[in-house]
Amino acid sequence: MTNENATSLKKAMMQTEEVIKTSAPRRERRRRHRSGSAAVEMLCNAIFPDLGSPDGHCDKSITYALVQDWSRLFNTMANPGPALSQGYGYGIILGVGFAFAVFMISLTYILKRFNNEVQTSETFNTAGRTVKSGLVASAVVSSWTWAATLLQSTGVCYRYGVSGPFWYASGATVQILLFATLAITLKKRAPNAHTFLEVIKARYGAPAHFTFIAFGLFTNILVSLMLIAGGAATINALTGVHAVAAIFLMPIPVVAYTFIGGLKATFITDYIHGFAVLIIIMLFSLIAYASSDVLGSPSAVYDLLVEAARAHPVAGNQDGSYLTMRSRGGVIFFVINIVGNFGTVFLDNGYYNKAIAAHPVHALPGYIMGGVAWFAIPWLTATTLGLSALALESSPRFPTFPDRMTEAEVSAGLALPYAAVALLGKGGAVATLIMIFLAVTSSFNSELVATSSIFTYDIYRTYLRPEADGKRLIWMSHACMVAYATVICCVSTGLWYNGISMGYLYLLMGVLIDAAVIPATLTLLWSRQNRWAAALTPIFGTACAVTAWLVTAKKTCGRLDIECTGSNEPMLAGNVTALLSPLVFVPIFGLVFGFDKYDWQSMMAIRKADDDVVEDSGLDPGARREVEQAQAADFILEQRKLQRAFKIACITTVSLAVFFLILWPMPLYGSGYIFSKKFFTGWVSVGIAWIFCSFVVVGLYPAWESRATLARVVRHMVTGTAPTEKTPTEQLPQLSSAEDLSGTGTPVSWKA
């Protein structure tokens, strides 16, 4: 049977089934019945001429039997059910999730027992400020690999073709690269800060602090909602597990191991999760482009994409092709993507936490390596699975065959799991489920620590209990994690039932938060911004952005529903207004209230939670002076290194941003070039080579960099002995009482 006959027969079946179920008046039911029966009988005679009556027509009994049989068949084809049973879904959420939680809790104990690590409020929220570049890079890659990174990029590829993955990857890489400059500046200006919001408070006071607390928390909430919404939709589509069950179960193991391990657990889980996700992406790409029996080569994919463009050309693409960078819809998404992601990096306390946790020498290379390595993840994932979805959707293997995916399915991020199922069957579904689950839990882990540190240090310790000791601060961090996870689950459930998808939130986030990006950046880079510009610009800018968003939606399609407000033009107007409006408001507030002349000293005066430890440790005054002199000498040397790193960061990050945003894509866009088969093969080959390099940077280099520590811990575990080398903690006999006063027991800056 041809696809045309199948489609016609399906419509006939639906029409006749509607007659059976409808409550329309009898005359209307008869009219519909005659129309549906005639269509079915005509197709019956054309397809099964031997089953008809002697006069050459299908008799009534055969016609209605066919109606029922084909209706059941088409209902099965249209709704084939999930690729996996619910057992797979619950097994991965609960089994893998809790197994990982047990592993992380055990690892925390091992590090305490065999590496002399003490879990105090300082180490819980800053990981000791000594993390090396490899682990920083893996943490950046894993934290920036949301469910949206994999699902949304694949959906954009499905809509616009080969340009979509590149627009997504380049539009979200430059923020990480440019943030490296901000990370170095933060280490230089405020070396003892716990959160970026502490820096805001130190410079501007309470009004601006309240503003940025609101924007920081809202950023974390938006990111968390996208993570949980995208993960739940994928688990529901692949296994049939109810989305609400997935929403409430996914965060539980994450809260459990973050509860125990703090920020250090975030770094370790980021490494392990990133390692696994990269392996799965490499497997998908090699299978699709090398060994698959349905695709198997870039050449085969290319031919199928050419056929797909003939069948349903892309409006706004050069010649309707999927094989060109000239895409009107793609470039609009590119701008929205760039603008929106500035907010989720520059306002997410999680990225500042990683900068704070990094050793000063390792912050810059960690962020640059992480940014460049991350680029390959959305680029190759979407180039593999997004194009596979386009190539295979005309095949009976595709879950929606013979229909195309609906816009709601694409927005929910289902292009990736559908392509994986079409490519590998159940194996593809399992791999996708694991990959998305790891991406969600790793990023949500980072959001938990970021949010708890805001509540603990910027709200609780600053305004409610300034004298809180270390135990109280850790207790507060734990309570905030549980409360935050509960709120996110409840809000995610509401979004699910109201049809607000991950894709909608992804496009909307810039409208709601980007007005704070420029004021936040100027806080560290410009001494003339005054406190009122910092406090009021984000509020006024967001009001302008929301107005531009809704007015454009009303003008373009005449209504304010989810479909209209989520379209490209309104989102573009709102996002661009949000990011650029501070360029107007900051100078205005400067002219009205006067430009500041800030000397950076109040930032430098931010204290660690353990600054009182040495004073209360029982050391004699002479020994204390030696410690203070050593710290002062180290500080001067560190500042020189950071100044040099800042210059390198400016040159390197700006050069890379120009390369990713202009030098690479714009010649291809401007020329309207449609990829040849050889060019497409080279394009895919570069992506595969890049992902292998990313695996070396993120998967192998951190382990090599920490080989001495790993060997020492393993040696002590095998022998069953504790380390004999004394840490600073062990050399301070009266530390426990000092910790109760100061909030920590690990003076990480003192050399043993």
- Look up residue 463 and give its DSSP letter: I
Q: Could you tell me which of 579, 191, 147, 192 has the C-alpha nearest to residue 347?
A: 579
Residues of the chain with pLDDT under 70: 1-81, 114-131, 261-266, 360, 608-633, 635, 722-752
355, 642 Cβ separation under 8 angstroms: no
**Which residue bears the tokens 């059910």?**
81
Q: How far apart are alpha carbons 488 and 254 in whole angstroms? A: 13
Q: What is the per-residue pLDDT for 162? A: 95
Q: Is 317 helix (H, G, I), strand (E, B) or coil?
A: strand
Query: Which tokens belong to 74?
Result: 């088409």
Cβ atoms of 332 and 507 closer than 8 Å: no
Peptide bond into 298 cis (omega under 30): no
Contact 729, 115 (CB under 8 A): no
Taking the C-alpha atoms of residue 571 and residue 510, their distance in angstroms, rounded to an integer, is 9
Residue range 440-460, pLDDT digits in tens: 888 888 888 889 888 988 899
Which of 129, 281, 260 shows the shortest CA–CA distance to 191?
129
How far from chain centre, in Å, is Cα 77?
Answer: 33
pLDDT tens digit sequence for 284-299: 999 999 988 889 899 9
Side-chain-facing half-sphere of 367: CA atoms under 13 Å: 33
What architecture is the 86-711 domain classified under in CATH? Up-down Bundle (1.20)
Task: Give dist(CA 34, CA 19) in Å, integer.
Answer: 10
- Give, for 129, the enclosing helix (H) or strand (E): none
Query: Which pLDDT score is estimated for 287?
Result: 94
CA distance 155 to 159: 6
> Which letter does DSSP use for residue 516 in this model?
G
How far, in Å, CA of 226 to CA of 219, rounded? 11
Q: What is the largest CA-CA distance in the chain?
A: 115
Q: Position of tokens 């507060």? A: 476
Report how far apart, in Å, the C-alpha atoms of 108 and of each of 254, 355, 358, 725 are. Answer: 14, 22, 19, 19
Cα dihedral 24, 27, 32, 34, rounded to 10, equals 150
User: What CA–CA distance (Å, rounded) separates 178 from 315?
Assistant: 34
- Collapsing DSSP states into helix, strand and coil, what is residue 124? helix
Q: Are 321 and 309 in contact (CB under 8 A)?
A: yes
Q: Which pLDDT value is given to residue 116?
A: 60
Q: What pLDDT does 715 receive?
A: 80
pLDDT of residue 263: 58
The ranges assigned to domains in the chain are 3-78, 86-711
pTM of the model: 0.80
Cα(447)–Cα(223) distance, integer angstroms:
8
d(CA 184, CA 191): 10
pLDDT of the residue at 74: 47
Is the four-CA dihedral 366, 372, 376, 382 of positive or negative sign? positive
pLDDT the model gives residue 710: 75
And the tokens for 405? 């995916």
pLDDT tens, position by position, 93-141: 888 888 888 887 787 777 777 666 555 444 444 444 556 788 888 888 8
Nearest alpha carbon to residue 532 among 265, 203, 252: 203
